Amino acid sequence: MTGDKPREECGILAVWSPQPTDVAGLLHLGLFALQHRGQEAAGMCVSDGHQVVVEKDLGLVSQVFDEARLDQLRLPDARLGIGHTRYSTTGSNLRFNAQPLTVRSSKGILAIAHNGNFVNAKEIRQSLLEGGAVFQTTNDTEVMINLIARYSRLSLVEATAQAMRELEGGFSVVLMDRHTVLALRDSHGVRPLVIGRRPEGGWVFASEPPALTLMGAELVRDVHPGELVWVESGQLHSLQVLEPHPTPCAFEWIYFARADSVLEGIGTHESRVRMGEVLAREAPIQADVVVPVPDSGIGAAIGFSRASGLPFDYGLYKNPYAGRTFIQPTQALRDLKVKLKLAATPAVKGKRVVLVDDSIVRGTTSGRIVQLLRDAGATEVHVRISAPPIKYPCYYGIDTAARKELIASTHSLEEIRRFIGADTLAFLSEAGVRAAIGGPVCLACFNGQYPAGYPHEEPQKEALEQAG
């Protein structure tokens, strides 16, 4: 993880059409709506009922899928496919770890795309290796597809259900063979997955609703925690494999999901506004202007402004052309990276500023932003964070860094305030998060209580690379 934000792991997509259609074109559009969930690799798998074609590589969706690559996927009679945008939480950012993963099995060719982490992946992988299984990647997605393939006497649906019973953690998965698309979530529904319906009777599954919209589908509902759904002969079938214990990831509403997403019936933007309102009541301050850290702090800053009566203004300009910056060989260049992406506006000059953001991970970027505002003439900078302090790593698919790198796990509130150079600092309470979202959520990265299981201390990424 770099910078001062947690990083999301993946976006997943699937489509099934009752008649031949441009599956690759639909998936391509949908992946753009999920680009924010993973920027390291992108991939698609498409089938016409006979052929199965896969294209994937490192890079953004626009970099991986040029017209030549899309043409390779445009089977004339294509009816179904799955897609993936990836950020590596388990398995390094290598081309062979890009998804969808495909295998040849007793069930024919299977393809899988996965969002989240299996916390018992290392143990299952070792057991499979001892039984003669062969692994081609270092990511935990391959563990699931090996489990499914092992149940050769079961149907694909039955084998997938059995694999769900054996795996632990927070995960959403889409899976396909030549004819069928399946989608599933863990029993806690930690990672999101929604169902959409296209006008001609097709079905779409995606990590977030905006992808459905781009693919011409209307949101039907979320896949339920512990549910396995599949499309067969145009009909959507459902099997409640695991007893549901809903605790979806709070960070979907705090930060990860797009502002126009609605997950579990709860709008992300509206939740962020409510977080800001609660934060203003929990940690009021005398100031002149409320400024968001763009783009993730905008919703909470609007709420803070409304509840406090302080004016909202854009005191920071985000350069839309900065892109991702990789070449940072010296500390001086790393420090300049913030200035490349953000610049203070005249709105802060001579003002007491309330700076609203959604999280602090290491504190380094927050400190640079505070200094930007001071350099631009802000007389005071009061930092307000619309989430509790992140004290524990996430084992369900978010890269929140090792615990020793999380500033809130090793520093007091006052020490963090001094480190980032703020006049005052306050975080939203856990109760405030729950009230703003309005439903049950996983708060493990704040309180260390892991509802969907807890792995060995060894980081999963390194553990899987060492296994086998």
Residue 295: is the preceding peptide bond cis (ω within 30°)?
A: yes
**Confidence (pLDDT) at 136:** 72
Query: HSE on the CB side for 425, CA within 13 Å?
Result: 23
pLDDT at 90 over 50: no
pLDDT digit string, tens, across residues 283-336: 999 999 999 999 889 999 999 999 999 999 999 999 887 655 444 456 566 567
**Confidence (pLDDT) at 170:** 94
Residues 6+ apart with CB under 8 A from 352: 286, 287, 288, 289, 378, 379, 380, 382
Beta-sheet strands, E only, within 215-351: 218-222, 227-232, 235-240, 262-263, 266-267, 289-292, 316-318, 342-344
Q: Does the 10-247 domain belong in CATH 3.40.1280.10?
A: no
| Across 35-44, average pLDDT | 92
Q: What angle do CA 272, 278, 280 make, to 5 degrees?
A: 105
**Confidence (pLDDT) at 298:** 97
Token pair for 331: 């500390």
pLDDT digit string, tens, across residues 114-137: 999 999 988 888 888 877 777 776
**Confidence (pLDDT) at 335:** 63
Q: What is the dihedral of CA 421, 424, 425, 431, to 10 degrees?
A: 180
The pairing of beta strand 235-240 with beta strand 194-197: unpaired
Active site annotation includes 10: yes
CA distance linking residue 65 with residue 300, whole number of Å? 35
- The lowest-confidence range among 84-93, 232-241, 293-302 is 84-93
**Confidence (pLDDT) at 95:** 65
pLDDT digit string, tens, across residues 160-195: 999 999 999 999 999 999 999 999 999 999 999 999
pLDDT at 451 over 90: yes
| Across 263-274, average pLDDT | 97
Say whether 442 counts as a known binding-site residue: yes
The rounded Cα 80 to chain-centroid distance in angstroms is 24
**Confidence (pLDDT) at 462:** 40
The domain 269-319+327-447 is placed in CATH, from the list 3.40.50.2020, 3.40.50.1820, 1.10.3720.10, 3.40.470.10, at: 3.40.50.2020
Provide φ and ψ at 158, rounded to 5°. Answer: -65, -40
Q: Are the CB atoms for 279 and 310 separated by under 8 Å?
A: no
Q: Which SS3 state, helix, strand or coil, does residue 409 take?
A: helix
Q: Are the CB atoms for 386 and 30 separated by under 8 Å?
A: no
Q: Which of 240, 241, 202 is nearest to 220 (CA)?
A: 202
Q: Which of 140, 160, 164, 266 is nearest to 208 (CA)?
A: 266
Say whether 45 counts as a known binding-site residue: no
Domains of the chain: which residue ranges? 10-247, 269-319+327-447
CA distance linking residue 258 with residue 185, whole number of Å? 20
- pTM of the predicted model, to two decimals? 0.90
Token pair for 219: 């949101």
| Across 60-87, average pLDDT | 94
pLDDT at 144 over 70: yes
Determine which one of 7, 8, 10, 395 is catalytic. 10
Confidence grade of residue 338 (pLDDT, cut at 50, 70, 90)? confident
Say whether 296 counts as a known binding-site residue: yes
Which amino acid does the sequence have at 273? V
Q: CA Rg, the chain, in Å?
A: 22
Mean confidence (pLDDT) of the chain: 89
Q: Are the CB atoms for 5 and 83 separated by under 8 Å?
A: no
**Confidence (pLDDT) at 85:** 95
**Confidence (pLDDT) at 48:** 96
Among all chains, which residue has been given the structure tokens 């999301």?
8
Q: Which of 17, 20, 74 is nearest to 44 (CA)?
A: 74
The pairing of beta strand 218-222 with beta strand 10-16: unpaired
| Across 426-438, average pLDDT | 98
Say whether 357 counts as a known binding-site residue: yes
**Confidence (pLDDT) at 274:** 98
Say whether 394 counts as a known binding-site residue: yes
pLDDT at 463 over 60: no
pLDDT digit string, tens, across residues 361-393: 889 899 999 999 999 999 999 999 999 999 998
